[in-house]
Amino acid sequence: MVPLESTVVFLDDETFINHMPIKDYLLREEKVLFWSDFQVTYNEEKYKVFITNIRLLLFKEKGIVFKREEIITENWAQITGLQFTEAGGIGRKGTLRFSCSKGEIRLEGPRNGMLGLFKAIQRQTLDPFGVRGENQPEEN
């Protein structure tokens, strides 16, 4: 059994997403496919990772009384050179590296969770709309 702090959750329940703060930042045709239930470190800050049919999002809330939100996004077409490495003994850490429009990105977190993120990101960068086009944005 994989501990909760190191898993990637597959989402298909729209009701759940509607109660998440990330909903305010999603585009009309965008849907969340995966999200991390653990935090990753990026530039010495902690974020949750959301994978949608359109882009990768890093999201965090700041503040206790007056909440502020920060979001970093990247389109799938901009992500190249995805790499996963692991280090450590008992508390193994995983590191994802990739290039994008912002330069080189390095995300760190628990090994099992980061491996799951690596696979989910790899799937989206190889075929962002799915083999059968099932994740493709709706046309109006």
What pLDDT does 138 receive? 52
User: Whole-prediction pTM value?
Assistant: 0.76
Please, which residues have CB within 8 angstroms of residue 31's CB and are 6 or more apart in sequence?
A: 14, 17, 52, 53, 135
Is residue 116 predicted with pLDDT exceeding 80?
yes
Tell me whether residue 117 is exposed, middle or buried, using C-beta atoms within 10 angstroms of its C-beta: 0 to 12, 13 to 18, 19 or more.
buried
Residue 109 resides in a domain: yes
Give tens-digit pLDDT for 39-92. 999 999 999 999 999 999 999 988 878 888 899 999 998 999 999 999 887 878
DSSP state of 138: P
Residue 14 resides in a domain: yes
Give tens-digit pLDDT for 17-33. 555 678 888 888 888 88
Residue 33 resides in a domain: yes
Residue 101 resides in a domain: yes
Domain count, the chain: 1
Beta carbons of 90 and 113 less than 8 angstroms apart? no
Residue 136 resides in a domain: no
CATH of the domain at 118: 2.30.29.30
Residue 90 resides in a domain: yes
Report residue 89: phi and psi, to 5°: -100, -100
Residue 69 resides in a domain: yes
